[in-house]
């Protein structure tokens, strides 16, 4: 018996909430969002028919408050709850609370979530079901290295450590336990062999509530950094028919072993050298990377989830069976993170967000680009949640064309205001291992990210500041109320060039651009072969050595920052420095400034403490990652301006370490 769902609430935020709402609109289902104070102005809130506030900003006060969410949904007349991914999506207790509240749970049974929620218990179940698993040595020796320490609960790389020296095993286990306890409330960890050059391959499964299940294809998620997926594709390249069929069958057996229902993903570690694969875990929810499967099989996975929750059979949902995959799809995750600061998450105002796309949150009608974004131009990216801005998905007739079109879309994207991993993604999509389909879980972490970090900025380092200065001068020309048409900077008698000073991302010292303005326009003060062909506040066209280059410009009206973009140059963000410095902006020598907005987790020192260079002063948490702030030199702690739990802004003075010995008390 089927019960049509009329109103779906999403117990999540951002991109995945908008994704579920899009399917609901197509099905004629009303929608409800829940939102924290930090998210009140994000697009997903406006995407819903109804919205309910979760007071607070941090996850523990908002999206992890399962009972409060259930009460809000019931009070609004909601009928069903979709958990999205992350937060409470794999909480058996939350699933039970939804069901106990007489609501429809768009997910698997709580018992299945519980069984697969413990990686230790799930491995036992998989062994019993005949699914291949990696076996941990009871007493590891040097010959067993490297080893991998993993948290039994949760995922996303939290509570995970690679051990390459046996002497480090104890300390790494302790560190993993502490991180897992903090992230998931469960410090249980286990140890297994670490397959250095393995590939991460996963199988999408779908079960109805009557025991029938099928595999809906596979995906490769091998390009990862810090155990976080960065690129995913479907179908997984380079698998033999035998291996692919074996994985699909093992995935269905895994779901059947726990009485699964709905959409889920079974993850395997695949060794291309031997053709063997082993069960890693089962994600009892919709995956971030589900759009690549949707592209190649032409099915809406969220609609299938809803259909299963309504009581429909697989025969009803898939009357023609599982479609054969068509073409190839690739997805990359666009993160707010700074490559110049060891890839730390970034926060702040997203001045411009423009990625060319054929559709958003929907099946592609033809080969092209799909963008599922959680943010839009002008939105503020906070520090409380994951650093992912969007997923960019390409679907093409074959793997090569899908990679190429995705790379082209990223090159044409205009992302201004905060640092992102966009250029690393472009490099990864054109990498030799990616193109050959031979990438492994270590490719990005061990080679690509390091090669990318070592790259020098392309071209003349003074070129970007010159272009930014000309764009600002063009803006001033447009805004002036007298001498219209005369470029800013024009003088009857020229004695010296104009000087515009910037702070440039990735450079320690300010950079000065020198230029002239006259009746014919703008020109460089130092490079005779550099000609300004056109200048507006939005675009500057220059010619050098006979080659013409057009640079998109975005001058942020809120911050005044200048952002430059074209399809070939390294993207630049520049901050105009005032001609005269406000004394109030000066900070004491030895000041430790917050590298990003965040929450103070621990403070390890007190005023008067003696510290050595590199000693931990405090720990910040931002976007689910912890960042250690250390002493810049030997000295004495002169000030500590924060305490645990405090929210700090980027650039805020956290503490001051003075040089010299502590003074004796009288």
Active site residues: 285
The Cα–Cα gap between 177 and 422 comes to 33
The Cα–Cα gap between 19 and 334 comes to 16
The Cα–Cα gap between 504 and 575 comes to 7
Residue among 131, 598, 647 at smallest CA distance from 345: 598
Residue among 476, 468, 457, 527 at smallest CA distance from 497: 527
- What values do phi and psi take at 163, rounded to 5? -110, 120
Residue 513 · residue 462 · CB < 8 Å: yes
Type and span of the H or E element at 314: helix 314-317
Angle CA 213–215–217, to nearest 5: 160
Residue 242 · residue 258 · CB < 8 Å: no
3-state secondary structure of 527: coil
Whole-angstrom CA distances from 331 to 195, 274, 328, 482 are 24, 27, 10, 51
Q: At what angle do helices 301-309 and 14-27 cross, to 10 degrees?
A: 70
Residue among 414, 474, 407 at smallest CA distance from 435: 407
Q: How many CB atoms lie within 10 A of CB 398?
A: 11
Sheet-wide strand order for 161-163: 161-163, 147-151, 189-193
Residue 426 · residue 332 · CB < 8 Å: no
The Cα–Cα gap between 470 and 514 comes to 10
Residue 461 · residue 506 · CB < 8 Å: no
Length of the chain: 666
The Cα–Cα gap between 526 and 469 comes to 14
For strand 591-593 and strand 572-576, is the pairing parallel, antiparallel, or unpaired? Answer: unpaired
- What values do phi and psi take at 598, rounded to 5? 180, -170
Distance of CA 640 to the CA centre of its chain: 32
Adjacent-strand bridge partners of 269: 200, 278
The Cα–Cα gap between 218 and 234 comes to 6
Residue 97 · residue 70 · CB < 8 Å: yes
Residue 379 · residue 43 · CB < 8 Å: yes
The Cα–Cα gap between 206 and 215 comes to 6
């Amino acid at each position: 018996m089927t019960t049509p769902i009329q109103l779906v609430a999403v117990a999540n935020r951002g991109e995945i909430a908008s994704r579920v709402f899009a399917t609901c609109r197509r099905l004629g289902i009303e929608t409800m969002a829940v939102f924290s104070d930090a998210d009140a102005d994000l697009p997903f809130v406006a995407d819903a028919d109804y919205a309910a506030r979760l007071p607070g900003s941090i996850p523990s006060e908002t999206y992890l408050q399962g009972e409060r969410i259930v009460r809000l949904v019931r009070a609004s007349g909601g009928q069903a709850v979709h958990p999205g991914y992350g937060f409470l999506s794999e909480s058996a207790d939350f699933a039970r609370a939804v069901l106990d509240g007489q609501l429809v749970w768009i997910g698997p049974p709580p018992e299945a979530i519980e069984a697969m929620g413990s990686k230790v218990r799930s491995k036992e179940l998989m062994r019993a079901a005949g699914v291949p698993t990696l076996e941990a040595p009871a007493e590891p020796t040097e010959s067993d290295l490297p080893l991998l320490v993993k948290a039994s609960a949760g995922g996303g790389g939290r509570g995970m450590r690679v051990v390459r020296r046996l002497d480090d095993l104890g300390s790494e286990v302790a560190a993993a336990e502490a991180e897992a306890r903090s992230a998931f409330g469960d410090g249980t960890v286990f140890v297994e062999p670490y397959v250095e050059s393995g590939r991460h391959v996963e199988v999408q499964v779908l079960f109805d509530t009557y025991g029938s299940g099928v595999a809906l294809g596979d995906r490769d998620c091998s390009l990862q950094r810090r155990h976080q997926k960065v690129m995913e594709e479907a179908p997984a390249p380079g698998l033999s028919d035998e291996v692919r069929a074996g994985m699909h069958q093992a995935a269905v057996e895994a779901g059947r072993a726990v009485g699964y229902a709905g959409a889920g993903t079974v993850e395997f570690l695949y060794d291309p050298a031997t053709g063997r694969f082993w069960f890693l875990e089962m994600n009892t929810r919709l995956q971030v990377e589900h759009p690549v499967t949707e592209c190649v099989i032409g099915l809406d996975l969220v609609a299938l989830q809803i259909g299963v929750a309504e009581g429909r059979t697989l025969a009803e949902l898939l009357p023609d069976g599982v479609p054969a995959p068509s073409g190839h799809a690739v997805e990359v995750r666009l993160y707010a993170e700074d490559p110049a600061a060891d890839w730390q998450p970034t926060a702040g105002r997203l001045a411009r967000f423009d990625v060319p796309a054929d559709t958003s949150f929907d099946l592609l009608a033809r080969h092209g680009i799909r963008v599922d974004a959680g943010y839009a131009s002008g939105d503020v990216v906070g520090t409380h949640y994951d650093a992912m801005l969007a997923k960019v998905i390409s679907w093409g007739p074959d793997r090569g064309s899908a990679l190429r079109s995705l790379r082209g879309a990223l090159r044409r994207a205009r992302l201004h205001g905060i640092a992102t991993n966009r250029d690393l993604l472009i490099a990864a999509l054109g990498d030799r291992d990616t193109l050959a389909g031979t990438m492994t879980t270590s490719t990005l972490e061990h080679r690509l990210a390091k090669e990318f970090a070592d790259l020098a900025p392309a071209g003349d380092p003074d070129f970007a500041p010159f272009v930014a200065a000309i764009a600002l001068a063009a803006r001033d020309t447009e805004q002036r109320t007298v001498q219209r048409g005369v470029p800013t900077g024009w003088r009857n008698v020229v004695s010296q060039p104009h000087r515009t000073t910037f702070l440039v991302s990735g450079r320690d010292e300010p950079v000065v651009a020198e230029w002239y303005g006259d009746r014919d326009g703008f020109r460089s003060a130092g490079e005779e072969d550099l000609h300004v062909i056109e200048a507006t506040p939005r675009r500057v066209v220059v010619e050098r050595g006979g080659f013409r280059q057009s640079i998109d410009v975005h001058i942020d009206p809120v911050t005044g920052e200048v952002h430059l973009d074209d399809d070939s140059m390294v993207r630049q963000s520049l901050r105009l420095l005032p001609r005269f410095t406000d004394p109030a902006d000066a900070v004491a020598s030895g000041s430790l400034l917050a590298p990003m907005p965040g929450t103070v987790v621990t403070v390890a020192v007190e005023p008067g403490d003696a510290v050595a260079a590199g000693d931990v002063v405090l720990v910040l948490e931002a976007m689910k990652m912890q960042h250690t702030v250390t002493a810049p030199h030997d000295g004495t702690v002169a000030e500590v301006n924060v305490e645990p739990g405090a929210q700090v802004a980027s650039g805020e003075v956290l503490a001051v370490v003075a040089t010299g010995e502590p003074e004796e008390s009288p």
